[in-house]
């Protein structure tokens, strides 16, 4: 009888402690030996982040695009985890992070401030940035404000030059006029095309292969939650301030000359190849690779290629012998 009781306890007690952990409000739980998943309270918002690797190794903070989340980096993190410490947060209202209250200014400036506070709370003060899509305006704000913390920049279809943003080049074009007067017709058309291009149709962003259905379904679920589309439109309207900030980002690059790796999906018609090449104006030693992929290259066909580029780039340009 005693042996039976002991056997039952070995099964029940671990389950009890796991349940007790969550009842006490635990904010992180290891899903495997390699990845951990966390929620950190940042000024009242629960900000989700996934982490992998050894904190004693060089740190890379991975900033995602929109409407995606840190899940887009799961594959490349898997490939890099043995040589780096990798931290990928979800912005407010993205992925598993909280939707902020109406009092939270939903701008790139404020999202960048939130990410900085998160990193500070985690004790991350020296790191490289991986920036894709909307990750570029979040990351460049971090770099401009805290250049002493940045070890290197990895840019993947994250624009910082007007040369790479055809829709914003005409001062009298639809996009520039929208940023000036917030035209409602343009906004409605943009929402419709955003749903179709980003979440439904196979697209040039992925070299005709279509978006991974697992990630697409997660992105769609996020977007269709109440209030999310309105917040994403606020960010798109605020994107005009990123274009105005380009000169500040260029000054940062010129002054500090950080190691820069550009891995650019050349089939991207939104942020185009001239935007990748333009980095050479300010960082002549920037390393540029044009990939046979699209806007979401890291999450699709080019994951292994990008991981290899990062490994070799760090060995050559970042890690001191």
Contact 161, 139 (CB under 8 A): no
Q: Which two tokens stand for residue 252?
A: 């940062």
DSSP letter assigned to residue 163: G
Contact 131, 63 (CB under 8 A): yes
> In whole angstroms, what is the distance from residue 95 CA to residue 17 CA?
27
> In whole angstroms, what is the distance from residue 26 CA to residue 17 CA?
12
Q: Is 295 a catalytic residue?
A: yes
* Residue among 130, 159, 201, 157 nearest 291 (CA): 157
Buried b (16+ CB within 10 A) or exposed e, 34-54: ebebbbbebeebebbbbbbbe
Q: How far is CA 59 from CA 81, 165, 178, 224, in A?
A: 10, 30, 38, 33
SS3 45: strand
Active-site choice (38, 64, 250, 295):
295
DSSP letter assigned to residue 169: S
Residues annotated as catalytic (active site), given as ranges: 295
């Amino acid at each position: 009888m005693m042996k039976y009781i002991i056997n039952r306890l070995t099964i029940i007690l671990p389950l009890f402690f796991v349940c007790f952990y969550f009842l006490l409000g635990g904010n992180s739980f290891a899903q495997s030996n390699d990845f951990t998943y966390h929620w950190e309270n940042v000024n009242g918002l629960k900000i989700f982040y996934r982490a992998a690797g050894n904190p004693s190794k060089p740190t890379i903070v991975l900033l995602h695009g929109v409407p995606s989340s840190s899940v887009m980096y799961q594959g490349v993190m898997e490939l890099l985890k043995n040589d780096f410490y990798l931290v990928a947060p979800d912005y407010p209202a993205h992925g598993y992070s909280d939707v902020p209250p109406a009092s939270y200014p939903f701008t790139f400036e404020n999202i960048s401030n939130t990410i900085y506070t998160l990193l500070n709370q985690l004790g991350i003060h020296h790191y490289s940035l991986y920036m894709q899509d909307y990750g570029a305006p979040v990351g460049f704000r971090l770099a401009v404000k805290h250049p002493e913390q940045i070890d290197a920049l990895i840019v993947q279809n994250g624009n910082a030059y007007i040369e790479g943003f055809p829709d914003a080049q005409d001062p009298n074009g639809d996009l520039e006029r929208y940023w000036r007067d917030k035209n409602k017709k343009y906004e409605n058309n943009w929402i419709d095309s955003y749903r179709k291009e980003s979440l439904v149709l196979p697209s040039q962003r992925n070299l005709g292969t279509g978006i991974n259905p697992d990630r697409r379904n997660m992105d769609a679920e996020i977007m269709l939650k109440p209030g999310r589309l309105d917040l994403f439109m606020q960010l798109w309207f605020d994107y005009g301030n990123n274009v105005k900030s380009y000169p500040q980002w260029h000054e940062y690059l010129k002054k500090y000359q950080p190691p820069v790796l550009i891995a650019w999906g050349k089939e991207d018609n939104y942020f185009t190849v001239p935007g990748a090449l333009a980095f050479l104006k300010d960082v002549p030693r920037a390393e540029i690779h044009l990939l046979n992929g699209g806007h979401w290259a890291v999450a699709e066909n080019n994951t292994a290629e990008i991981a290899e580029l990062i490994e070799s780039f760090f060995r050559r340009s970042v890690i001191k012998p």
